[in-house]
Amino acid sequence: MSIKRIIMLSVHTSPLAPLGGKKTGGMNVYVRELAETLGAMGIEVDIYTRKSAPDQPEVDVSLGANVRVIHVPCGPAQVLDPDAVYPYLSQFTAGVFAFITKDPVTYDIIYSHYWLSGWVASKLKEVWGIPIVQMFHTLGHMKNRISAIKSALPDVRIATERQIVDWADVIIAATPAEYNQLLWLYHADRRKIAIIPPGVKSEMFKPIPQRLARKRLGIDEMCKLLLFVGRIEPLKAVDTILEALSIVRDTQPNALKNVCFAVVGGNPHEPDAELARLLEMVKVLELDDVVQFMGAKSHELLPYYYASATAVIMPSDYESFGMVALEAMASGTPVIATEVGGLAFLVRDGETGYLVPVRDPQALPERILI
């Protein structure tokens, strides 16, 4: 089968959205860069995503040749949590059909990302009869297993994911861990699953002399920079890093003399509940002179942050893959990460970084202080 045109679904979040926001991260990068790569190969890709701002154009062609991002009305034109998008999925599906009615095209496959997109994909397949390739990125069953804060619609999400596992013709798993989770928790047909690890642009994420990177960002050359990059949400466990730094201050105060911990992500000027909690935690632990919340940064600047860092820390409770770890290691920077999900396969303990137990601030100091 020759693939000439793909419909890609990223319902709840746009590949054009700035990184570091509440629900923008590795999946956004994955969808965008995969579409750009396919477009450069001559395959036409239409990415359908919900309209999340009144000024978004119906069609955006900024991702380059053969790639269109199509904004579909789906609930209020504002950023919504994924669970809040679920009631509007029928509207989104109707919007896809409406767009194609006025701009007729024929697609060869549906490539859907996340569970919300998988639901829409099933409705499109009912009409078009073309194959679905599904990538979940995160699994509701796994998030519920590790999270103390349950989703507002956990039963709907997990039940829908189970249906998508049956509907999809191919399921892409990023790691062997995700492959096994799909088998154990969702009873997926192993013949449908293909393990395809994501990659990074090696021309973008590559070693840069630390002195040059720090000069670009205005970072002190004497600083031992520890770095966190990602969304600010409880399962990313940034609080574990703060607790570890507090332990170091209490037990080895001189060890923090030149240590700087930078958090890249979120908006410290308009903090959400989790970021506000972390800001307060820094004050309570008296780490104001060590910790700096940098806010979200453009993807183009991230190589300079990685190259400036002594180490990147990812103490997550759950990571389906861990794109930040791969970007950091491609930049030549070691990663200190919990041994969960994709991180357990990405980070080679003692070689490209270190693996530590989940939610164990006592284990981090010995790795931070190496």
Distance of CA 298 to the CA centre of its chain: 14
3-state secondary structure of 50: strand
How does DSSP assign 108-123, residue by residue?
SEEEEEHHHHHHHHHH
Same-domain pairing of 21 and 113: yes
Residue 202: inside a domain, yes or no?
Answer: no
Nearest one of 227, 217, 251, 235 to 362, comparing CA atoms: 251
d(CA 138, CA 348): 22
Q: Are strands 59-60 and 67-72 parallel, antiparallel or unpaired?
A: antiparallel
Among 149, 170, 195, give the residue marking a domain's end. 195
Same-domain pairing of 252 and 338: yes
Distance of CA 80 to the CA centre of its chain: 16
d(CA 88, CA 68): 22
Q: Are strands 193-195 and 291-295 parallel, antiparallel or unpaired?
A: unpaired
d(CA 183, CA 347): 24
User: Are 250 and 260 spatial neighbours (Cβ–Cβ below 8 Å)?
Assistant: no
Domain housing 326: 210-368
d(CA 143, CA 224): 33
CATH number for the domain spanning 20: value is: 3.40.50.2000
| Predicted confidence pLDDT, tens digits, the chain (370 residues) | 689 999 999 999 999 987 655 566 789 999 999 999 999 999 999 999 999 999 999 999 999 999 999 999 999 999 999 999 999 999 999 999 999 999 999 999 999 999 999 999 999 999 999 999 999 999 998 888 776 544 444 589 999 999 999 999 999 999 999 999 999 999 999 999 999 998 999 999 999 999 999 999 999 999 999 999 998 999 999 999 999 999 999 999 899 999 999 999 999 999 999 999 999 999 999 999 999 999 999 889 999 999 999 999 999 999 989 999 999 999 999 999 999 989 999 999 999 999 999 999 999 998 987 6
Q: Give Cα separations from 87 to 79, 81, 82, 236 (angstroms).
A: 15, 12, 10, 27
Residue 161 backbone phi and psi in degrees, to 5? -60, -40
Among 162, 195, 228, give the residue marking a domain's end. 195
Same-domain pairing of 119 and 240: no
**What's the whole-model pTM score?**
0.90
Residue 203: inside a domain, yes or no?
Answer: no
Beta-ladder partners of 1: none
Same-domain pairing of 22 and 171: yes
User: Are 366 and 348 spatial neighbours (Cβ–Cβ below 8 Å)?
Assistant: no
d(CA 132, CA 112): 7
* Total tally of structural domains belonging to the chain: 2
User: Are 267 and 225 spatial neighbours (Cβ–Cβ below 8 Å)?
Assistant: no
Query: What number of residues does the chain have?
Result: 370
Same-domain pairing of 186 and 221: no
Residue 204: inside a domain, yes or no?
Answer: no
Same-domain pairing of 20 and 137: yes
Residue 200: inside a domain, yes or no?
Answer: no
